[in-house]
Amino acid sequence: MENKKAVKNCLLVATYALVLYFLLTNYQSVFSLISRFLGILSPFLFGICLAFVLNLFMRFLEEKPIAFLERKTKKKLGKFKRPISIVLSFLFLILVLTALILFVIPQLTKSVKMLVSSMPFYLNALEAFINMTMAEWGIDSIVLDQIAINWGDIIQKVGTFIANTIPHLLNITVSITTSIFNMFMGIIIAIYLLASKENLITNVKRVLYAFLPRKVCDKTVYVGSKLNESLGNFISGQLIEACIIGTLCFIGMTIFQMPYALLVSVIVSITALIPIFGAYIGAFGGAFIIVMVKPISAIWFLIFIVCLQQFEGSVIYPRVVGGSIGLGGLWVMFALIVAGSFFGLPGMLIGIPVFAVLYSLLSLSTRKRLTKKGLIVHTAGPATDFIPQPETKEEHDKQEGAQK
């Protein structure tokens, strides 16, 4: 019996080794196949992401504003709770997009048009400012000539780039059309997912419990529920945090009379969806826009955004996002850096909630092992309140003497 088990384990190890060797030697083909597969599933992936985000608002509606439909006196109306919540969720999304189209996008378009039309003047002013500043610092004319900007060469390169891009317009048009179709299909898929999410979850559980051991299924369901909770809290917290920092940026730029306040604030708010470092990315984009108009204002803007980011990173983010997923500021930074190093931007977006789940599972496992070993953990106090439970009377007396 033991020989059969050993042979089975050896076969499994050999199989895993062969599969791993094949994946490593053909990683380009594997990545290409995965990319193609994800491209085929893009409508489903978009629908799942949209349904997950809208489910946060739909769940709030079902638990609070329209929960009265399930009262005993209104049983007949209870069956309309889900359709009403789905419709209201999509109406809320349409309302947000409409507000962007009617109020924000026109202002952004106006700012961009003004920026483009004034670009030659801004570039000349910037070049004059740089040359004047360097002349005041005593840099000789030879160095100034070496760093002089050849705008004619830049314009020629831009024209060449545009000429080379025109032949690809057909591919770009096809790509845009495909993306619109995938978005439309994704919306339909999201509606189906929201309407029957309980049935889908039940069916998945039935398949798991039918083909896998119960212990594995219990752990899988628990991890899935924790990941769903952590990811939902992270997304809602990230959206709230982005709105807060975008609003504070707009207020500060308006008070200090900086140009393109709305345009820059929207950029900062959107990039703030990237945890921790997103606002800095938006800050450099905003500084590039401002420096064309007022170079001095760009410097003050960078100082302002650094101060705002420090306040956001130390006060807002740990409480809004870190508190919602159960992670401290240090662990949020750790998860962000590690996940971002391995997986880039997607890792930054999902690394924190995934790490929060792993942290929760590790805490639960640690607590169970300490309990099994007969140790006491005072969780209400600081870490120094961890006191192992004495197993003998001599150890008990020795521990009491040490505490005194």
> pLDDT tens digits, residue range 52-91?
888 888 888 877 777 666 665 556 666 777 888 888 888 9
Considering only residues 213 and 350, tell me which one the structure prediction assigns the higher pLDDT: 213
- CA nearest to 189, candidates 80, 39, 45: 45
Give this prediction's pTM: 0.63
CA dihedral 72→76→77→80, nearest 10 degrees, is 130
- For residues 377 and 351, give the distance between their C-alpha atoms in angstroms, rounded to a whole number: 29
386 phi/psi in degrees, rounded to 5: -75, 115
Percent of the chain exceeding pLDDT 70 equals 69
Which residue type does 261 have? A
Instruction: Please tell me which of 83-87, 204-208, 288-292 the model is most confident about, judged by mean pLDDT.
Output: 204-208
Are 274 and 349 spatial neighbours (Cβ–Cβ below 8 Å)? yes
Considering only residues 143 and 195, tell me which one the structure prediction assigns the higher pLDDT: 195
Which residue type does 83 have? P
Q: Cβ atoms within 10 A of the Cβ of 137, count?
A: 7
Which residue type does 237 have? G
304 forms beta bridges with none
> Which H or E run includes 387?
strand 386-387
Location of structure tokens 């792993």: 358
Q: What is the DSSP letter of 22?
A: H
Considering only residues 380 and 262, tell me which one the structure prediction assigns the higher pLDDT: 262
Given a cut of 70, whether residue 401 has pLDDT beyond it is no
- For residues 144 and 359, give the distance between their C-alpha atoms in angstroms, rounded to a whole number: 56
Q: Where are the alpha helices (DSSP H) in 118-213?
A: 119-136, 141-147, 151-165, 169-195, 197-211
SS3 labels along 36-75: HHHHHCHHHHHHHHHHHHHHHHHHHHHHCCCHHHHCHHHH
Considering only residues 96 and 143, tell me which one the structure prediction assigns the higher pLDDT: 96
Residue 394 CB partners (closer than 8 Å, separation 6+):
none
Residue 196 CB partners (closer than 8 Å, separation 6+):
none
Are 79 and 69 spatial neighbours (Cβ–Cβ below 8 Å)? no
Model pLDDT, residue 309: 79
